[in-house]
Structure 1
């Protein structure tokens, strides 16, 4: 299908206008072009800076929140263990022995070449978690 004559004229007029605008831009001094480019890029740089600060502050706040949750969890486990020991020492001792056995199983599975099943992976994760909490106290 052939383009209409009016459409061709419209495109030629738009091309001429673009050439005129490019020549006007080229005639401006370099410092005006650079200042204009800097001024135009200012909003995007501002938003990128805000997004970066938001990410950094968000990560920091999340780490603090996660640390507080971990401390509350440890405190709750300690309080429950203390209450359980005062209430029924024999079942609490059995529970502690089972937890130690589970962590030992996780340690054995951690150093094996091949792990078996979800229970083994859970034990390995529990072993690594406890090891990461205990090793700094033993070393330092």
Structure 2
């Protein structure tokens, strides 16, 4: 049985050597043409994926910027409507929200944070900071170039 395995391996090695010699004897232009034709669909698909990623990122940034601006506009309209309806409670509500956000901003830059209210204030500050800064950061490349 060992001789049979050895003969089979030698036969497979001979076939592999003959195939390698046949491949090496082909002209360079045939090798390049086959390589180019076989890699063409892969290159096309990679290019398509790259363009999809780039366009998707741009569309995502623009849509996110418009969503943030629409949110800020809606909040501004609500505050304006509340001011016209009841100015004193609106001032109290806006002052409380700003104080809560300021507290969160102060606690955000401290090393030690304690309690749930502090963490909620920090989260609120981070949320508002991201929603306010995101349209500015997202639109910055479009404004510069």
Q: TM-score, normalised by structure 1?
A: 0.76
Return closer, same or farther for 1:131/1:68 CA change in 2, 3 Å cut-off: closer
- The equivalent of 1:33 in structure 2 is 31
Change (3 A) 1:61 1:132: closer
Which residue in 2 is equivalent to 1:109?
Answer: 107
Among residues 60, 64, 67, which one is paired with 1:66 in the alignment?
A: 64
Counterparts of 1:61-140 in structure 2 under 5 Å?
A: 61-128=59-126, 129-130=128-129, 133=132
The 2-side partners of 1:127 and 1:40 are apart by 54
Structure 2 unaligned residues grouped into runs of 5+: 137-145
In structure 2, what is the equivalent of residue 24 of structure 1?
22
Deviations 1:104-137 (A, max 9, x none): 2112202311122454234234435449948x8x
- Is residue 49 from structure 1 mapped to residue 50 from structure 2 by the alignment? no
User: What SS is found at the alignment partner of 1:114?
Assistant: coil
Shift of 1:50: 0.7
Change (3 A) 1:25 1:62: same
CA shift, 1:29, in A, is 1.1
* TM-score, length basis structure 2: 0.73
Question: Residue 83 of structure 2 contacts residue 90 of structure 2 at CA under 8 Å; is this kept in 1?
Answer: yes
The two structures, once aligned, show a CA RMSD in angstroms of 2.8
